[in-house]
Amino acid sequence: MRKISYGVIWLGLIVVAALTLGVPLGGQWPTRLIFWQLRLPRLLFALLGGAMIAVSAVIFQTTLRQRYLDGSMLGLASGSELGIALWTLCWPKAHTYRVFLGAGLAILLLWLLRQRILKTMAMSSVLPLAGLGLAMFLNAGTSLLTNQQGLLGQSLANVTITDAWSLGIVALIGVLMIQTDQAQLTFFALPQWHVAQLGVNEQRLSWFWQVVAAGYLGAVTAVLGTIFFVGLVLAQVVVRWWGGNAQARLLPTALIGALMLSVSDFFAHSLRYPVELPTGAMLMLMTAPFLMFILWGYHAD
Amino acid sequence: MQINALAMPRVFNQPLTFNLPEKKLTVVIGQNGAGKSTLLNALARRLPEAAYLPQKNQIYDDMRVKELLALGQQRAKNAPTVDILAALAIEPLLSQRMATLSGGQQQRVWLAFVLCQQTPVVLLDEPLTGLDLRYQSRLAGLLRSLNVSVVMVVHDLNYAQCEADWVWVVHDQQLMAGTPGDMLQENFLSEVFNTPIRQHITTEGMRYFDV
């Protein structure tokens, strides 16, 4: 069953990649310039970004022992977006490296949250509510500052080559960190007491993982804008569909995330061509039915 | 093993200094809310070499039994000398997910998780919860064969009488210790639990309590 699922996802990724790169829009085949400077960076960003949003959610859900949570619900995406808007206002050149900036700002906000909120509210059902309150506050700030709608996310049409390779570097750093020997996400399946008894410093281990998760989310948000709930839903779809512990779910979750964002972006780009629809809105539109599926299953349980 | 000045201001009116019998099975009894769990918790914090199983244990992820036990075994320094899995009949459950097990099965797995850490001190808070009579009996035998110091909270006075080497009674903000023969007396237990408790002796000489 799992092999078939992997096969379906890989097939989906190949199809959407081929369509994004090669399909003629407006009756014209893509020129070499359009292929290399527009379509390829956009596809790479969608594939990597989708994977990173989904993996980020798995990490936050696991390390905070909260099933229905992702980084956007902690205000990290909104904070990162607001930070980029402010930074760019002061120093417009920073916009070129917004992916690194977004990752850094999200990690900084994570550090601030860990000083108090994540210490006292971890594992509490109030945490998602408190996080959403913070996210709404920060999001309102971004909307007022940039005259944008804020909640719908942006189009990936604005992805640059620099964005694509920057995201690749952030993704690679995260993967290398995850591969280290001590990084066992599995420990978070245990209650805190047992983790401590096994000689594991949970604070240090969770910081390590959450830095990766926040960096991933902030980096993608810098281009895509704040996307609420999508990571939560994708991570939980894999829990229901795949099962297995969190460490084992990282790869399938990344693949599902890559597929969902690349498909969403393909539709956002082509449905009303030449009008570009916001990719974030399309992603949320496509993910919402899965949320219904999860909630339906929750009641069936 | 001497435990000095163990402070639990909410439960005991002064810091406790007492002896934890080595390589013996010590049973803790007392009313609900008397402070038995707090005592075990404080002991666990004082003794980093101890393995502690709280009353409630939850799994936060989709995990199989063998994965959970593998985490516990990471703490063990040597290969196990006693077949814990066989004693608690865990083998048939190894590939199953924790979430799919019954309460009693989960309790057996948690007990195996704690015991496979091979610590010299084991602290168990109400380990009999969910266990049927067979596994209650097996657990006592298993704990003895491990040759470690065990402190366990139980509510079953008959179990305490049959299995304990030593009894601690938490009552009236004090910790009292003695042999089962000394501590498990009708009048004393009736006062501790604030309800009449009678001890009966069968024609075969077996003693048991009822209310």
Distance between B124 CA and the closest CA of chain A, angstroms: 13
B52 and A245: CB-CB below 8 Å? no
Helices B133-146 and B103-115: crossing angle, nearest 10°?
0
A25 — pLDDT class (breaks 50, 70, 90): low
A188 and B60: CB-CB below 8 Å? yes
Cβ-Cβ pairs closer than 8 A, A with B, add up to 49
| Assigned CATH class of A2-9+51-258 | mainly alpha
Interface of A with B in 176-195 (CB under 8 A): 186-191, 193-194
Give the separation between CA B157 and CA B4, rounded to whole angstroms.
28
Interface test with B, best of A198, A200, A253 (most B CBs within 10 A): A198
Residue B1's pLDDT is 83
Q: Show Cβ contacts of residue A238 under 8 Å, excluding neighbours closer than 6 positions.
A: A54, A58, A249, A252, A253, A256
Q: Show Cβ contacts of residue A126 under 8 Å, excluding neighbours closer than 6 positions.
A: none
Q: Which two tokens stand for residue A159?
A: 């992805």
SS3 A166: helix
Q: Nearest chain B Cα to A199, which residue?
A: B75
Among A188, A193, A198, the residue with its CB nearest the CB of B54 is A193
Q: Tens digit of pLDDT for each residue in B98-134?
A: 999 999 999 999 999 999 999 999 999 999 999 999 9
Q: DSSP state, A277?
A: P
Q: Tens digit of pLDDT for each residue in A84-137?
A: 989 988 998 888 999 999 999 999 999 999 998 887 776 678 888 888 899 999
Give the rounded distance of the alpha carbon of A219 from its chain centre.
Answer: 9
Mean pLDDT of chain A: 89
Give the separation between CA A11 and CA B125, rounded to whole angstroms.
52
SS3 B177: strand
Q: Locate tokens 């007392």: which residue?
A: B30
Give the separation between CA A174 and CA A119, rounded to whole angstroms.
24
Interface membership of B59 toward A (CB under 8 Å) = yes
Sign of CA dihedral B203, B204, B208, B210: negative
Q: Tens digit of pLDDT for each residue in B79-102?
A: 777 889 999 999 999 999 999 999
Q: Which residues in chain A have Cβ-Cβ distances shorter than 8 Å to B64? A: 245
Q: In chain B, what percentage of residues exceed pLDDT 90?
A: 74
Write out the DSSP string of B15-66.
-EEEE--TTSEEEEEE-TTSSHHHHHHHHHHH-TTEEEE-S-----S--BHH
Among A187, A243, A246, the residue with its CB nearest the CB of B71 is A187
Helices A246-270 and A279-300: crossing angle, nearest 10°?
140
pLDDT, greater one: B10 or A270: A270
A268 — pLDDT class (breaks 50, 70, 90): very high
Residues belonging to chain A:
301
Residue B139's pLDDT is 95
Interface of A with B in 59-78 (CB under 8 A): 62, 65
SS3 A256: helix
pLDDT, greater one: B148 or B79: B148
Interface membership of A297 toward B (CB under 8 Å) = no
Cis ω for the linkage preceding A252 (within 30 of 0): no
Q: Which residues in chain B have Cβ-Cβ distances shorter than 8 Å to A202? A: none
Residues belonging to chain B:
211
Q: Are A219 and A233 within 8 A, CB to CB?
A: no
Interface membership of B117 toward A (CB under 8 Å) = yes
Residue A298's pLDDT is 64
Interface membership of B120 toward A (CB under 8 Å) = no
Mean pLDDT of the region B57-69: 93
Beta bridge partners of B25: B150
Q: DSSP state, B95?
A: T
Q: Which residues in chain B have Cβ-Cβ distances shorter than 8 Å to A246? A: 61
Residue A155's pLDDT is 84
B44 — pLDDT class (breaks 50, 70, 90): very high
| Separation of first and last alpha carbons in chain A | 22
* Domains of chain B, earliest start first: 2-210 (3.40.50.300)
Q: Which residues in chain A have Cβ-Cβ distances shorter than 8 Å to B72? A: 198
Beta bridge partners of B199: B209
Please list, residue by residue across A84-95, b when 16 or more beta carbons sit within 10 angstroms of its beta carbon and e when fewer do: bbebbeeeeeeb
Residue A151's pLDDT is 53
